Every structure is written in C-alpha cells, then in structure tokens.
Structure 1
C-alpha cells in the first residue's frame, strides 16, 4: 500500500517537473523537489527489502498445481502470485521514478548554472 502511494507521488512530481512552465517557477519547484529527494531516499532500501521478501515468499510458497487442491486453495494461490507480481512491479517503478526525479533535478540545476555562466559572459 505504501509503495502505491509513493509511486503515484513520484509520478506526479515527474510530470510536474517535465511540464513547461515559467523559468522562475520551474527553478523554485526544482529546488523544492531537490530538498525532498534526500529524505525520500528511504524508498530505495524499502523497495529492496520488499523485493527480497517477495523472492523469499516465492521460494517457500506451497505449490497448488495438483488435482488435490480445491478451487479455493487454487484461487488463493493465484491471488498471492498476482499480488507478488504487482508488488515487484511497484518496487521497480519506485526505484526508477526516484532515479528519474534525481536526474531531472540534476539536469535542471546544470542548465540553470550554464545559463548563469552564459549571462556572465554576455555582460563582460
């Protein structure tokens, strides 16, 4: 549940960072996101722990493929498989979106510093 909200928030921030906006607003927004990225780094170890948990549960899950299983047991087994797949995708998406936000902010800061250098050269 936590990863769902984190991925949604990261996706919304990525969309807001990539939308065209006035330079002053974009610079302020990039600096705010940059400040939020450092405490948001908890996503990476949390996602890694979740992936390890999914792997461990997958290795130690009781298989329900024989004819002895009831329909309810088979449904429960399939639900757990789908849930594990969904959580794995969310973990990977959380890490990729965090990395994307980090790179977008870094590129925006580099562009801003290059624009400042260009402005200084033009004034000289």
Structure 2
C-alpha cells in the first residue's frame, strides 16, 4: 500500500518540477521545444488522473468502513492509531488532489503556449499578405 503513495508522491513532485520549468521565461525557440517535449509526455501521463481518482475512491471506502474509536472504551493506543490513520487519509487526499490539479495546470499551460504559437503564425501570415 505504501508503494502506491510513494509513486504518487514522486509523480506529484515531477509535476511540480515540470510546471516550474514550463513557467520559467525562456527564449521562444527554447520555450517551443520544452512545450513540445512536455506535450508528448502529457497523453501517457494522463493515467495519473485515473490512478489518483482510484486512490480517492479507496480512501473514501476505507473511511466509510473504518471502525471509529470515539468512546471511552478505547485505549490511548487505539485512539492514537485511529487519529494517525485519519491524518494519513487526509494527507493522501491532498496528494491525490494535487496530482490531478497539477496535471490540469500543466495541460492548460501547454495548450496556452500552443495557442499562442498558432496566433503568432497567423499574425505573420496576415502581415505577409
């Protein structure tokens, strides 16, 4: 189970790096190359959305079927274990949401840059006429 969260953490970290690289100011030639490279990776990387959604469903299911430890019958150890599992679940929800949101941001940044490039080409053609 921990391997899934480790993989998701690395993917989110990679998405952060990609988003930072895409938003840095580069000359247009370098920017076009970076955007085209990231655009090639975007379609296979879309699986992160499905993976994170599956993990969110798993967290929800476990939360609905978790034994609650709120009565006075529970020992301090059981209460600590329960609170720790709640904190882990909250952290994992934030991780899943960050993965989906960062993928969407990277997609929109690439789309924006491609649209900008198309508009610049149309402007050049219009000026040439």
Is the TM value for this pair above 0.5? yes
Q: In structure 1, what is the equivalent of residue 104 of structure 2?
A: 99
Deviations 1:5-51 (A, max 9, x none): 11111111111111111111110000000000000011111111101
- The number of aligned residues is 124
Distance 2:80 2:100 in 1: 30
* TM-score normalised to structure 1 length: 0.96
Query: In the TM superposition, what are the counterparts of 1:38-77 in structure 2 within 5 Å?
Result: 38-77=43-82
Q: Any unmatched runs of 5+ in structure 1? A: none
Determine the C-alpha separation between the residues in 2 that align with 1:3 and 1:55: 17
For 2:77 and 2:7, how far apart are their aligned partners in 1? Answer: 28
Q: Deviations over 1:63-95 (max 9, x none)?
A: 111111111111111111011001111111111
Q: CA RMSD in A?
A: 0.9
Distance in structure 2 (CA, Å) of the matches to 1:55 and 1:22: 45
1:122 CA drift (Å): 2.1
Query: Counterpart of 2:13?
Result: 8
- Which 4+ stretches in 1 moved above 3 angstroms? none
SS at match of 1:38: helix
